[in-house]
Structure 1
Amino acid sequence: MTDAAHPGPARIDVTLARQLVAAQFPRWRDLPLRPVRNGGNDHRVFRLGDDLSVRLPSAAEYVPQVRKEQAWLPRLAPAVRLPIPTVEGVGEPSPLFPAPWSVYGWLPGAPASVAPVDDAGGFAADLAAFLAELGEADPTDAPGPGPHSAFRGGPLEHWDDEMSDLLLRVHGRERDLAAGIWRDALAAPFTGSPRWFHGDVSLNNLLVRDGRLAAVIDFGCSGAGDPACDTVFRWTSPDAVARAQFHRDHAVDDATWARGRGWALWKGLIMITNKPPGQAEFARQVLERLFSE
């Protein structure tokens, strides 16, 4: 069996997760196990007892993210003050599930997509500080942009052909504005040294506890390269105060903001036709913010 193998998302359920834990981590076999709401699309997450979680890749393209997280999360943790996932168990491929998987420590809190924030400006400032700390982590031997990160951290040109099709999802003046945003992003290439980036700074990956940013999760798209993809909070946050504070506190140059705007446009155009409840509406709001600048 190889790490590229995968049984398909239909197999991933509580029964499978319980069988895997019992087979490879018998000390935890009697702990209650239940699925996590908003556990993500790329990986399925189950809470194991009070203090652990089980995380399984949902398709073959996400399998490389597992080994990356297992190797790098312990090395990144000392670089940042906010908690990030801790690897408590390394699940190996088996006849039950022919792909690697992980047991993580459970991080208390609820996603910012559903949890109230007491101080939107403070939340954004804390996020900017976290990204600055992450960017200073040692990038030696770090994974560069590639399929594991959906090429986040690499040149936006990788998605230029796809963008030609995505632009057809908007019309009239909006298409002209979108095309201009994309041209500006391509015209501002990254020329710096590789820096660590998270790769998916979505509200679902920012945990809130007691009204404040408490932890950052899901490093599946992380790597070292151009950190512009981590600026998207400026357009994805629903709170105007948070967006403005993040813009002030996240100390990057105009070229990085331009590329970040391109990343936000790319993802927004992808999501605008998504069927899951709320995703298309969310994408529309992001696009309207991009177009209004």
Structure 2
Amino acid sequence: MRSDVHPIDGDLVRRLIVGQFPQWAGLAIKRFPSGGTVNAMYRLGDHMVVRLPLVQGGAGDVDKERMWLPRLAPHLPTTVPTGLGYGEPAEGYPWAWSVYRWLEGENPEAGALSEPVRLAEDLAEFVAAMRSITLSDAAPQAHRGGPVASLDAETRAAIEELRGIPQEGVDCTAATAVWEEALRAPVWGGPPVWLHADLMPGNLLVDGGRLTSVIDFGCLGTGDPACDLFPAWNLLPTKAREVFRQALRVDDATWIRGRGRTLSQALIALPYYRETNPTMAHNARHVIRTVLQEG
């Protein structure tokens, strides 16, 4: 998918485990298929998972999760990753890496939710809990947590790229109108709030239709609360979307910014991943359709 991906395979993972966590050296190691673009994941035995950054840009996420997840977890209504070990660069692998407790569940799929309204309520409870957290130490700014305008150049460039891919069928004029509405919306005037900042379906686990875990906190930090409204358009159908909004009491300006941010991410992802990552491209198409139909 990217030219800067570091090669990772089972033999490398085995050497890293043997060298740094010999107590787990006898456990089976198996690549776990994922649509993620920043980390590779390998099952370690039945109860653990090894997570290794694929690119330099994800290397700092290990330290961020190690520092903040244990402090955020007690305040959250769902299970989050529990670190069991933190590895160091070795065997030619250049970055820190993690071993987490394995969390059971499945990624939800837009259009195939068994309990969409209850899932919307669960998601709203998680987002509200994140927003309510106050910690004494200075928090990092969330990835994508800044003003909507900071995404303008990249979003417009993606729209122009999609104009040149007519087979995708994106109404670029309508997409531009939604984006410009987000740019005109009043900026967040309150204090920055804690955010997961990457609430994609691939970072959610459900069981029986209900949210059980939220994973991959590599983008966490504080910022505009609109940044955690992504599930409204990347996952939830119309009725559940409104339940999600009402549960969080989202004002019009924040809703418009959230819709614009979600659309921006999808517009950027689609031309980038359309030929290399079917999962990301499929969700991007879903978001674009959903947002433009709603608009």
Q: TM-score, normalised by structure 1?
A: 0.89
Amino acid at match of 1:21: I
**Separation in structure 1 between the aligned mates of residue 111 and residue 22 of structure 2, nearest angstrom:** 34
Identity across aligned pairs (percent)?
39
Residue 3 of structure 1 is matched in structure 2 by none
| Equivalent residues of 1:228, 1:260 under 8 A apart | yes
1:132 to 128, 133, 148: 128
Deviation at 1:238, TM superposition (A): 5.3
User: Using a 3 Å threshold, how does the CA distance of structure 1 residues 8 and 103 change in structure 2: closer, same or farther?
Assistant: farther
Contact 1:135 1:197 in 2 (8 A): yes
8 Å contact 1:91–1:101 — kept in the other structure? yes
Determine helix, strand or coil for the equivalent of 2:171.
helix
2:248 is matched by which residue type in structure 1? H
CA RMSD, 1 decimal = 2.3
Q: Distance in 2 between matches of 1:189 and 1:268?
A: 21
The answer for the alignment partner of 2:182 in structure 1 is: 185
Question: Does the CA contact (< 8 Å) of 2:86 and 2:97 recur in 1?
Answer: yes
CA distance in 1, matches of 2:268, 2:157: 10
Give the secondary-structure state (helix, strand or coil) at the position aligned to 2:263.
Answer: helix
Question: 2: CA distance between counterparts of 1:258 and 1:246?
Answer: 14
SS at match of 1:11: coil
The list of structure 1 runs, each at least 4 consecutive aligned residues, that deviate by more than 6 angstroms after superposition, is none
1:26 aligns with 2:27: no
Which 10-residue stretch deviates more, 169-178 or 29-38? 169-178
| 1:71/1:176 CA distance change after superposition, 3 Å | same
Q: 1:165 aligned to 2:163?
A: no
Distance change (3 Å), C-alpha of 1:39 and 1:167 = closer
Q: Contact 2:110 / 2:236 at 8 angstroms: preserved in 1? A: no
Q: For 1:1-293, what aligned pairs fall within 5 Å after superposition?
A: 9-38=5-34, 40-113=36-109, 117-139=113-135, 140-145=137-142, 149=143, 152-168=144-160, 169-170=162-163, 174-187=171-184, 188-237=186-235, 239-273=237-271, 274-275=274-275, 276-292=277-293, 293=295
The one-letter amino acid of 1:194's match is P
Shift in Å at residue 54 of structure 1? Answer: 0.5
Asked if the contact 1:20–1:96 (Cα under 8 Å) also holds between the matched residues in 2, the reply is no
Q: Quick one: distance in 2 between partners of 1:39 and 1:280?
A: 10
Moved more, 169-178 or 183-192: 169-178
Q: Quick check: 2:12–2:91 contact (8 Å CA) kept in 1?
A: no
Mapped contact 1:234–1:243 kept (Cα < 8 A): yes
**Structure 2: which 5+ residue stretches go unaligned?**
none
CA distance in 2, matches of 1:210, 1:192: 36
Which amino acid in structure 2 is aligned with residue 67 of structure 1? Answer: D
Write the letter of the residue equivalent to 2:33: R
- Give ranges in structure 1 of 5+ residues lacking alignment: 1-6
Task: Name the aligned partner's letter for residue 26 of structure 2.
Answer: D
AA partner of residue 94 (structure 2): P
> What is the alpha-carbon distance in structure 2 between the residues aligned to residue 115 and residue 46 of structure 1?
28
* Aligned-partner SS, 1:56: strand
Shift of 1:141: 1.5
Counterpart Cα distance in 1 of 2:64 and 2:35:
19
1:146-190 per-position Cα deviation (integer Å, ceiling 9, x unaligned):
xxx2xx111122221122212222489933322222222222212
Structure 1 residues 125-146: Cα deviation after superposition (integer angstroms, max 9, x where no partner): 001101100111125321114x
